[in-house]
Amino acid sequence: MNLNIGIDIGGTNIGAGLLDEDLNIIYRIEIPTNKDRGYDFVKSQIISIIEDMISKASKLNHKIDSIGIGLPGIVDIEGNNVIYNANLNWNNVPLGKNLRDRFDIPINIENDATIAGIAESALGVMKGYSNSVFITLGTGVGGGIIINHKVYTGSHGLGSEIGHMIVGENFYDCNCGNNGCLETFISSTAVRRYVINEIEHGFINTSIFKNVNSIEEIDTKLIFECAELGDELSNKAVNRMAKYLAIGIANIINIIDPDIIAIGGGVAKAGDFFLNRVKDLLPRYILFKELDFGEIKLAKLGNDAGIIGAAMLKEYK
């Protein structure tokens, strides 16, 4: 039996798994990324992980069929260079080339949101659909697009950047330099900044301060908890987020018309309390209101999605 290695590189930790043909994780590793030590050190850790996985497979009398890697950033179309990765402070580093020079095993590298979309397409809520879109809501906003059961990244590897769809004007600029990116309206960072901005401009009648001693302690989890308890400012923030996510989803539906859109990431843990608001708003923004459109569901694989999707990447390229 051949096994596949899936590696999920984050700003804090590197998670990796050895998966069998049924996509069961039979061996798992997680280590700190140590991003502050630079590219060469992180690369050496990835190499050590792969060597450990190969050794483990050998002891089980199995071979490694492929290695898949997901990371937050943009990878060139050949999968040789990581063009940009803000979380790791990487710019045009030859990760794919370096690993292929070291290992005689097929290696594929892709954006982490796309990787998670692959996992949801194979085992999660997107399973059984040929055209699907995955949106992850966390510190930023990522996207993965699957068309005819294949990853879509465009002609230059720049596709699926759903978080940088411009949907309006905002009170602060995106990290990419533009103003009005979807990410600045619907990420956990965006919700927190909106609440703090409202407080700084005089909206102080809020129960948020019953739970924190200062503005710096406010986080998105608290905002959603206060919204569920009826806090006016928190609900204003959640409703604003739901509105712009509905606009973003409507744009995707109007352009791609997928079978399903799955919402994942930390913010999505708010569940139906949040998703129902999005669903209620969505029809007003869709072009063809008399026609059916794709389902909107919460993703279900959680933290395992990165490892599973990375291990499957070869099949979707």
End-to-end CA distance of the chain: 22
**What digits encode the pLDDT tens for the residues 222-271?**
999 999 999 999 999 999 999 999 999 999 999 999 999 999 988 777 88
CA distance 177 to 189: 16
CA–CA–CA angle 38, 44, 48 (5° rounding): 145
What is the reported pLDDT for 81? 92
Whole-number average pLDDT of the chain: 93
- Tell me the Cα Rg of the chain: 20
pLDDT confidence bin for 139, thresholds 50/70/90: confident
Contact 317, 147 (CB under 8 A): no
Query: Residue for token digits 């533009």?
Result: 178
Q: What is the mean pLDDT of residues 87-111?
A: 94
**What digits encode the pLDDT tens for the residues 28-42?**
999 999 999 999 999
**What digits encode the pLDDT tens for the residues 190-234?**
999 999 999 999 998 899 998 898 899 999 999 999 999 999 999
What is the reported pLDDT for 72? 87
Query: Residue 183 corresponds to which tokens in the numbers above?
Result: 């990410």
What is the reported pLDDT for 79? 86
Give the bridge partners for 143, in sequence order. 135
Q: Minimal CA–CA distance to 203: which of 241, 169, 234? A: 234
